[in-house]
A = this chain, B = another copy of it.
Amino acid sequence: MSDKILIVNYKAYIHAFTQNGVTIAEAARKLRAKLSSTRIILAVPSPLLYKILEIYDDVYLQHVDPVSPGSHTGFLPAKALEYLPVKGTLVNHSEHKLVYRSIVQIIDDVRYVGKEVVACADTPGEAAGLAYIRPTMIAVEPPELIGTGIPVSKAKPEIITNGVKAVHSVDPSIPVLAGAGITSGEDAVKSLELGASGVLVASAIVKAKDPAGKLEELAIAMDTF
């Protein structure tokens, strides 16, 4: 069976840049021995890439840009992932939305260089459109719940079931992740029960007082499912 996915999005919380960011990476490394069917991916701020890679090797960027390598200052071409030891990237996150055409360019470029790309959607409808571009995975996150601590799996379970349905009506092989407000192992497991292949979590882990403990709670709960 393929792995259940737990993506920890560091975002640009100050905690991402302080000790919490390192602690989460160390915890992810230690958890690996305990997990049999769950994969933890850390989506880190780009300047921290090599720093986190010294600790943990399953790392994503949070965004890449729809430009080709060349004279672009302060933009990261999707194809540059070929030269970086990352596994992949998020794209079109709720906090970094792009027009469809740019998402197409990024997904095509990332897959061209053999890396993974998780495309994010607000709704099942947006997810269905993204499914046509064949990203590695699709995450559905209702923006009104992001960062609230109110889990999508409880407040809007139909977003998950309809998101899975919409994506799989286009391509049943694309795993669908759920996100927004997921705070506990219970929330994560509920998402899996609703048909998701994994979850995206951010503040609940990154801003936690005990980020290692919180990460372990979610990962173990998912792995046990």
Contact = CB atoms under 8 A, between A and B. Distances in A.
Copies, count: 4
Interface in A28-82: 43, 45-51, 61-63, 67, 69-77, 79-80, 82
B101 A74 contact: no
A104 B121 CA distance: 13
Q: Is the interface of A mostly helix, strand, loop or mixed?
A: mixed
A17 B72 CA distance: 13
A98 B74 CA distance: 12
A71 B123 contact: no
B101 A100 contact: no
Contact of A129 (B13, B73, B97, B125): B125
A90 B77 CA distance: 18
A12 B46 contact: no
A155 interface: no
A25 B68 CA distance: 24
B101 A12 contact: no
A18 B69 CA distance: 12
A71 B147 contact: yes
A74 B97 contact: no
Contacts of A125: 100, 129-133, 170
Interface string A137-176: 0000001001100000000000000000010011000000
A9 to B, nearest CB: 6
A32 B86 CA distance: 32
Interface of A: 9, 11-14, 17-18, 43, 45-51, 61-63, 67, 69-77, 79-80, 82-84, 86, 90, 93-101, 104, 121-126, 128-133, 143, 146-147, 166, 169-170, 202-203
